Structure formats: structure tokens, C-alpha cells
Chain A
């Protein structure tokens, strides 16, 4: 099943609603489904090995930290019964439940966003935003940012090596290193301003912003809101109504 970006974004918003409105146990099931969904739905397959690695890394480290956090809460927030005692350490129910609820919510929020970006090439996302009315200047800012992001790490390394060769105290004490920070950032900013002036001129002399810039449309993009998006929105409304009713009745 192919998913367009509108549906995927609607699903992210639905998951945010779930994270705040539904019980942690339901959210835990949703997290499990989300982890599986990238293997089951082609639209959610990671778009690159790097994206897949980043997603797995987050699951490993993020998962470990949030559940560690749940345990520490159970130690420090002393409310309710003691549910577990290890040596002299008492783990309390209130802290544990607070920790679990927080951990599950945080994981669901994070995974919903990560899954979207891991399975969506950024250039497609930017094209989608443009189709939805993002002004051409902002589209260009985003695309140029990707260009700078490609170049900056190498440039930072170059400047760092050059400053070290010139005797900048890049490996001295903390105070000297802080001073070296200036000598690394300064050439970067200066060269970026020079490049920006040239690039700005180059864009203008190619007619940019004389008129709006149409971008080539992505072949698989669907313009209209499809049935799936509508279904996700309906489900979101249902969850809100359910939560309000539950709040009123309890």
C-alpha cells in the first residue's frame, strides 16, 4: 500500500493525540505496531541505510534511557506501595507508573516523528510543503540548508585543521579552547557571508523571485486529500470525543 505525505502527516498527528489522550498500555501497543510497520508497509520503509540506522539507534538508546528513567522515578518519587526491593533500594508504585506513562508517551511521540522522516526523503517533504503553499523563498531556504549541511562538516574540519596548524589552542585548557572556538567559527561565518552574497546575486540574476517558482512535481504525489487521510482525521476526532466523554463520566 502506498501512502502519500498528507496521510503520513495526518497519522503523525493522530499518534500525538493518542500519546496524550490514551492509556499507556494502548500506547505501548501502538509503539510495537509502529516498530513493525516499517517492515510491513512499503510507504514506511526507511528511505536510506542512514535513516534506518538513525531510527534503530534512537530505539536502542532512547528506549534504554526512558525505561531507566522510569526506574529512577520509582526510586525517588516515594508514593504508593513498594513494588520491588533490590538490596536496600525500594521502588515505589507512584514513581514507577509516572515513569512508565512518561516513557511510553515520549517514545510514541518520538517514534511517530522519526518514522515519518526516516521513510520520507527530505526533498520530497519540501516539495510537499511547496505544493501546500509554502512560499518559494522558504522552499529555497530549506533546499539551500540541505546544500550547506552537505558542505559544512567538511568545511568545519578544514577550518579546525587550519587553525590548529596556525597554533590556535584547540587542545589546550578549557579557557584556551573556548577562545579557539572564536577562531573556528569566525572564518566559517565570514566565508558564508561572502558565499551568501554571491549566491543571492546568482539567484537573482537567474530570475528567482521575479515570479513564483514552480518545482517539478514528484511523480507519486497525489494532490487531493485521499480517503486514507480522511479516515485518519475521522479517527482523530473519535479519539478526542472518547477522551472528553471519559473525562466527563469518570
Chain B
């Protein structure tokens, strides 16, 4: 019997998953504080989404990313609202990879991270180009301008800019999540439905 999206979300968001997804959203929004404290030039702003995708499921990851972007807009970064399609793709794709068992081996995680980065660049390019003409009010705007001055179209320039940062950022995010969840006690993980996504020798959920 086919289940509705609402039912699928309700199936995922039970028990510990519900507060955990809330934590993942908060982590997406506050991870910048950690990278700033450590002075590391990384965004990692989808780390919560990837954690939710791996430990709970794709629908939770989609919700995590979407809510994080809505709240980021509310907290002073309004353009994040328009990039909800990108975080939906990140959540769904990571959840799919996790279910296919890609989070059981580090090299699959690394490949997945790079693929995810390219995918994120592809999805965000048209939004960035057509809605904002490549202006995101950050340092990367100058990179877009550089690519344009080199004679590339706006869409191409935004895409190339995305390729310079997204795959590396997502690769690091994926690997960080992989090593994080591997270090967690099995009995705790057992209470989150995505535990089988990461444990060797177990069928994925």
C-alpha cells in the first residue's frame, strides 16, 4: 500500500528522532560558531542535515534542511529562504545514499560527498543566477564576477563558483559525519532508526 508523504514523515519522526532532528537543525545554524572558534575556513552548514539523513532518514533530513533555512532567514540571512530546494536535494540524496549503505565505508562516503557537492552546485546555480544574479552578499560574489569578466555566462560563472567550494565542503561534512557516527555507542544508535545505515553487516533500513 502506498503511503502519503505525511505518513512517511510521521513514521520517521517518532521517539528520539523528533528531538534529534530539532538538534540537527540547531546544529546547522550554530556550527558556524564552532568553525569561527577554531578559525577553520569551512561552512559545514549542512552537517545537521547529513546527520539527520544518516541516523534518521531522508524525510527528516529534508525537514531539517528546510527548517534550518527558514530559521536562518528569520535570524538575518534572508536569502537562505530561496535555497530551500538545494537543502531538499542534499537531504534526499544523502538519505538515499545512506539507505543504499554508502555510509558503511569511508571511500564510498568520500565519493558520495563529492557527488553531493557537484549536485548542490548544479541545483543552486540557477537559483543564484536567476534570482540573485549571482550576488549572495559574501566573498564568493567576487569569484562569480571574476568568472564573468573571463567571458563566461552568468549561469556558468555561478556554477563554476559553486564547484570551487561545494564539493570540498560536502566531502569534509560527509567524512566528519561518517567518523562521528562510527564512534557512537551501538546501544544508543539502536534507538535511532538509521542505525542500520552505518553498521556493517546489517541490512539498510
Contact = CB atoms under 8 A, between A and B. Distances in A.
In the complex, is A directly touching B at CB under 8 Å? yes
Interface of A: 20, 54-55, 57-58, 61-62, 65-66, 69, 72-73, 76-77, 98, 101-103, 105-106, 109-114, 117, 122, 125, 135, 137-138, 140-142, 144-145, 147-149, 152-153, 156-157, 160, 170, 174, 177-178, 180-182, 184-186, 188-190, 192-197, 199-201, 203-204, 209
Interface stretch (B75-83, B104-112, B161-169): B75-83
28 contacts: A54-B75, A69-B135, A73-B145, A77-B149, A102-B133, A102-B135, A109-B82, A110-B79, A135-B6, A137-B18, A138-B9, A140-B22, A148-B22, A148-B26, A152-B30, A174-B40, A177-B39, A178-B40, A181-B176, A182-B179, A186-B183, A189-B27, A190-B188, A193-B55, A193-B184, A194-B188, A197-B191, A200-B18
Given A58-B76, A141-B18, A201-B15, A77 B137 contact: no
Given A181-B176, A209-B14, A195 B6 contact: no
B38 A180 contact: yes
B179 A184 contact: no
Nearest to B51: A189
A77 B148 contact: yes
Interface in B111-158: 131-135, 137, 141-142, 145, 148-149
Given A182-B180, A196-B16, A209-B14, A72 B145 contact: yes
Main secondary structure of the interface of A (DSSP, over half): helix
Contacts of B135: 66, 69, 102-103, 106
A141 B38 contact: no
B21 interface: yes
Interface of B: 6, 9-10, 13-23, 25-27, 29-31, 33-35, 37-40, 47, 51, 55, 63, 67, 71, 73-76, 78-79, 81-82, 131-135, 137, 141-142, 145, 148-149, 176, 179-180, 183-184, 188-189, 191-192
Main secondary structure of the interface of B (DSSP, over half): helix
B34 to A, nearest CB: 6
Nearest to A194: B188
Given A135-B6, A144-B19, A181-B35, A117 B148 contact: no
B16 A170 contact: no
Contacts of A72: 142, 145
